[in-house]
Amino acid sequence: MKSIYGVTIAQLEEYFLSKKQGKFKATQVFEWLYKKRVKDFSKMMNVGKENILRLQEDFSLEPLKLLTKKSDVDVSKYLFALEDGNRIEAVLMNHDYGNSLCISTQVGCNMGCHFCESGRLKKVRNLEASEMVRQILAVEEEEQIRISHIVLMGIGEPFDNYQEVMNFIDIVNTPKGMDIGIRHITVSTSGIIPKIRAFAEDQKQVNLAISLHAPNNEIRNQIMEINKAYPIEQLIEAVRYYYEKTKRRVTFEYILLKGVNDSRENARELSRLLKGINCYVNLIPYNETSHIEYKKSDKETILAFYDELKKNHIAVTIRREFGSKVNAACGQLRSNYKEE
């Protein structure tokens, strides 16, 4: 049975119209689901008995099952079981600007990033929009909070599951629903160029983050398999196209790997690559895992890299480190749980 949490408001309007009902019923249902958090169709008092029976026949309200949770200062990580027995993760980060949840979009990942724990367990399937929405609902209920920001940067490549991700964005952004601001949503991609261009055409005003992690093809080919299909110069061209269409600043994510991509010369080369692009670079200290040989750059190297970018007029931040004590590397909790 299809989960109601994967249905956009436009799709629900079509559903009610097909039942010879007013499409305003969709708004009423969305308010019950996401404003009042009702988990039983029979409690949707203004929807009508006949519509309640229809909804009960056609849709499920099943939540995700929380398997385990690990917490540290300002961060909690959750492992969920899906109906088919697969497992996914979400990470809650408490910032001064609000509660940000990093969610998964696939079970496993086929992008082949050598430093990433998620890619070690290959893609099993795409998540449905409902399974993304229910990650948010489950964390909000567990913590008794409201999520203000969403990052699609957990297990999986969002643009390898494009339509379900777009449906998810529509559901959580709907004013009568969860009403999470469109500019409070960030989608991260390792660089699927056709989908970056499609995203530009959709002009959703969502934040776009590019997992770059290297200043040239030689290094990127070594650490990211996707670069062999979509080389770095083509990726930069697609980013420029995205900016031309949307006028939205792009974030470049750059994980610093000791002795691989973290030298001053790498920083200078990155500066040349990004020159003229309205962007900023988010430097990320690596979260080491027991399964992967890459190591975290030392603090002095990270600061030197940062200084070199600043000197070359590249906007740059160093991401605050979260959750080294809670298996916070993407896919790490799922991987460890699977092996246990």
| Residue 276: alpha-carbon gap to chain centroid | 27
Q: Give the ranges where 120-192 is alpha helix by DSSP (H).
A: 129-143, 162-173
In Å, how far are 127, 232, 265 from 216, measured between CA atoms?
A: 32, 7, 11
In order, the DSSP letters of 90-139 are EEEEEETTEEEEEE--EES--S-BTT-SGGGS---EEPPHHHHHHHHHHH
Looking from the CA of 145 toward its CB, the CA atoms found within 13 Å total 15
| Number of helices (H), then strands (E), in the chain | 11, 14
- Tell me the β-bridge partners of 283: 254, 318
If residue 41 lies in a helix (H) or strand (E), which one and from where to where? none
Of 102, 109, 279, 330, catalytic = 330
Long-range Cβ pairs for the range 198-207 (8 Å, 24+): 198/162, 199/159, 199/242, 200/241, 200/242, 200/244, 200/245, 200/246, 201/245, 202/166, 203/245, 203/246, 204/166, 204/169, 205/246, 205/248, 206/169, 206/182, 207/183, 207/248, 207/251
DSSP single-letter state for residue 189? E
- Tell me the β-bridge partners of 65: 81
Of 13, 89, 117, 128, catalytic = 89
Q: Is 113 a catalytic residue?
A: no
Give the relative orientation of helices 264-274 and 299-311 as an angle to the nearest 10 degrees: 40
Q: Is 265 a catalytic residue?
A: no
CA 88/CA 103 separation, integer angstroms: 9
Angle at 23 between CA 176 and CA 1, to 5 degrees: 85
Please check whether residue 193 is in contact with residue 234, taking contact to mean a CB–CB distance below 8 angstroms. Answer: yes
CA 191/CA 160 separation, integer angstroms: 10
Catalytic residues: 89, 330
